[in-house]
Amino acid sequence: MTIINKTEEKTTQLIAEFKGKTPKAHDRAIVRARFVQTGEGPVALVTIGHDSLKVWDVRANESKLEFESFIEVKKWRCGVQQAAISADGNDLIVIGADSLIHKIVINSEDSESHAVVTHDLGYMEACFVSILPQREAFITASFSGYLSMVGFDGRLMKREPFSNIKHVSAIACSRFGDLIAVATHDGVVKLLDGFALQEKSKCEVHSMKIRALSFSPDGFYLVTGCDDKTIKLVDIKQEKPTIVRVLCGHRAPVTAISLEESEEQRMVTGSLQGEILLWSLEHSTPILKIPSPHETMVSSLSFHPDGQHLVSTGEDRMIAVFTLPQHKPVVPMTPVDEDPEMEEDILDDTQFPYNQRISPEEWPVRFEDEDKENENEEQSQPQQDEMDEDQVQQNEDQMEDTQQQERTIASPPDGVEGLQGSSDWDAEQQFQRQQDESDENHE
């Protein structure tokens, strides 16, 4: 796709290349994936599916990445509700479909050494999970009516009542753990204190179910993905959260969001139909549509720490890897399905902005011309009526003259009887009348 910078009149080619896939990375659908790195150590990829957890060795081969699985953990049989992976890969939490909490510990020095600790808070007492950074704890929703803070050792550290807990659709924690965002099926997002679990504010961001939720790396913004196919950027710096941007481009509900932890302000999103779009938070339209091999829901997305690669996973059990453009775009791309000229006409509100009232003095001249035309029509109407009456009177006079002439012809002139018999005259007049009647009937 071509991006044109109108100010510099230069053409920049933005290309995301599909570099390969692992078609059957898991036996069942993949729920979560993330690149992890401890300090300056090697980068690994962690994927969590309904069947198992896998750690992949990531190797750079020229311009593409190659994955090789070296650890697999199988501990759950009923599938996975939710899963969370810390940035360093040391904290791995899996919530099973049976509400069991699995804490996985991976020993990076010994690929054969790993441990799984399982905790049981009760059925439906752990339904979502988001890790609190540097706290050795995570946040989960308990269907008994509470928002719970649980330690990695399974200890219930804190719980607070939460209204409509069964309507919760997503939970996210900020990078520093000071804020917790809870989204619901009706599109509302509540912000809570990360320590006291008390509500600080709320915002009606959407009117439908929010499926994806993520904080920006600086913690100043919140990004939401919804069933209404839109992504919204919410400013949470102020006391009252404010929607600052609506991002449109998907054709299906948004199911996955990942923000790059760099100054580029890039974000990637996935949808229920397998679409993957690359965004800049400075624009409301995507800068690039990534050629996705997924035909079903994109469940997870993750940027490589080098910023050059992206990984996507889905319900199709596939891991796909892409290379990304490295320069920052100046203007966003035009959506493929929209006419650029039509879009420009719709968005051009400089003459009459939608939020500006127009005084009568500024009304277009065409309205005044229409009023003058209407006034002239009203003034000319009586004259037209007078002309119509004169025409009717004139037609009546002509008809009367015609009838008078016919009567004159029908009566025999003086002296005719002496020259011609009255019977012949009558016969001629009778014949003339029959001819006239015949003509009238024919007509």
Q: What is the per-residue pLDDT for 90? A: 85
Do 55 and 46 contact (CB within 8 A), yes or no?
yes
- Element (DSSP H or E) covering residue 268: strand 266-271
Assigned CATH topology for domain 2-338: Methylamine Dehydrogenase; Chain H (2.130.10)
Q: What is the predicted pLDDT for the residue at 340?
A: 36
Of 220, 197, 189, whose CA–CA distance to 137 is shortest?
197
Highest-pLDDT range among 60-74, 258-272, 334-348:
258-272
Predicted pLDDT of residue 276? 96
- For tokens 């979560």, name the residue: 32
pLDDT in tens, 198-218: 999 999 999 999 999 999 998
pLDDT at position 127 is 92
Query: What is the spatial distance between Cα 13 and Cα 141, in angstroms, rounded to a whole number?
Result: 45
Over the stretch 323-380, which tens digit does the pLDDT of each residue have?
Answer: 888 755 444 444 434 333 333 333 333 333 323 333 333 333 443 444 555 555 555 5
Q: Which residue has the higher pLDDT, 150 or 135?
A: 150
User: What does the pLDDT read at residue 370?
Assistant: 46
What phi and psi, each to the nearest 5 degrees, are found at residue 58?
A: -105, 125
Query: Which residue from 323, 340, 245 is spatially nearest to 288, judged by alpha carbons?
Result: 323
| Full-model pTM | 0.69
- What would the DSSP string read from start to end of 203-252? EE--SS-EEEEEE-TTSSEEEEEETTSEEEEEE-SSSS-EEEEEEE--SS
Return d(Cα 205, Cα 186) in angstroms, integer.
9
Decide which of 378 and 310 is more confident.
Answer: 310
CA atoms within 13 A on the CB side of 389: 6
Angle (nearest 5°) at CA 298 between 149 and 3: 115
User: Is a pLDDT exceeding 50 seen at residue 44?
Assistant: yes
Burial class of residue 4 (count of CB atoms within 10 Å of its CB; 0-12, 13-18, 19+): middle
Is the pLDDT score of 1 beyond 60? no
Which segment, 44-58, 222-236, 254-268, 348-362, is predicted with the most confidence on average?
A: 222-236
Q: Using pLDDT thresholds of 50, 70 and 90, give the confidence band for residue 78.
A: confident
Provide, rounded to the nearest whole percent, the portion of the chain with pLDDT above 90.
47
- What one-letter code names the amino acid at 185? H
Across 134-148, 383-397, 423-437, which has the greatest mean pLDDT? 134-148
d(C-alpha 13, C-alpha 2), whole Å: 5
Whether 108 shows a pLDDT value over 60: the answer reads no
User: Quick one: CA dihedral 21, 27, 33, 38, positive or negative?
Assistant: negative
pLDDT in tens, 158-168: 999 999 899 99
78: phi then psi, degrees, rounded to nearest 5: -95, 10
